[in-house]
Amino acid sequence: MDLRTPTKLGRSGLRVSRIGLGSSYGIGAADVERAFDRGINYFYWGSVRRPSFGKGVRTIAQRDRASLVVCVQTYTRAASLMRGSIGRAVRKLGCEYADLLLLGWWNEPPPARIRDAAIALREEGLVRQILVSCHKRATFAALAAEPAYGAIMVRYSAAHSGAETDVFPHLGAARPGVVAYTTTRWGQLCSPRHTPAGERTPRASDCYRFALAHPSVDACLAGPKNSEELDEALAALERGPMDADEIAWMRRVGAAVRSVRMPAGVAGAVGVFDRLRG
């Protein structure tokens, strides 16, 4: 298996790079273009839409839109707001459509009004496929069974490995595409402070390679904040798949990191969002 080769994103049919880049963390236009030239074609226009990231995507779209896979996120709980939000987002990227519409953070299956609004956008060509994210692993079986969703986004890492038993075995034969996120566990897997005695500390590229070693995972998201972190994400593609010894090492480190509390900002955001959702 060569991680530099794009793969089919499950039943969505889209061809994606094994690593996708998020817009929220800091890399700018030049690095976005460099990533594309190095084989990354999946760009996630997510929670924080930095103008320089968008400029890079626009430049790529002007020269090779057919090879580009753009994911646009919406957290809206009002179906009537979805079309305007997605339309504005793709215009900022100089695109006529989004390849993926991400319905963000649905811990229960989206209600019919949200699902149907997303389907309507797909039917009119504003989006090509629908992706849905979730933080509740038990919900993914129902999401996978809904044919409207071409792909799912699931938390998965050496420290958060529960998807291996609670999600991946329940996706069905015609499974949706799978995108993994928080593969570094907010950077904690790469922190010497949390590495158990006698073990080496993983690099970010090790975290990406671990996630991509699972046969159910098509792609994983990276959030580089500068050129050096982008180089590390690209290194995962060059270094290739993990062997059995590396996977066992990552699991040992992950077991230790699992007991570390999530960062306060992340925990606060989760709590606020859950309260808003009721």
- The CATH number that applies at residue 180 is 3.20.20.100
Please name every residue paired with 8 in a beta bridge, in sequence order, or none if there are none.
Answer: 15
Rounded-to-integer distance, Cα 27 and Cα 19, Å: 15
Specify the pTM: 0.93
pLDDT of residue 1: 81
Q: Give the domain extent around 78.
A: 7-277
- Overall number of domains in the chain: 1
Q: Which residues of 178-214 are buried (b: 16+ CB within 10 A; e: fewer)?
A: bbbbbbbbbebbbeeebbeeeeeebbbbbbbbbbbbb
Of 118, 116, 136, which Cα lies nearest the Cα of 128? 118
C-alpha to C-alpha distance for 109 and 112, rounded to whole angstroms: 9
Write down the pLDDT at residue 46. Answer: 84
- The answer as to whether 1 is a domain residue is no
State the pLDDT at residue 265: 58
How many Å apart are CA 7 and CA 234, to the nearest integer?
Answer: 16
Tell me the CB-side half-sphere exposure of residue 118, using CA atoms within 13 A.
29
What integer pLDDT is reported at residue 197 of this predicted model? 96
Does residue 149 form part of some domain? Answer: yes
Amino acid at 256: A
**Is 191 part of a structural domain of the chain?**
yes
Per-residue confidence (pLDDT) for residue 24, from 0 to 100 = 86
Which residues of the chain fall below pLDDT 70?
Answer: 264-278
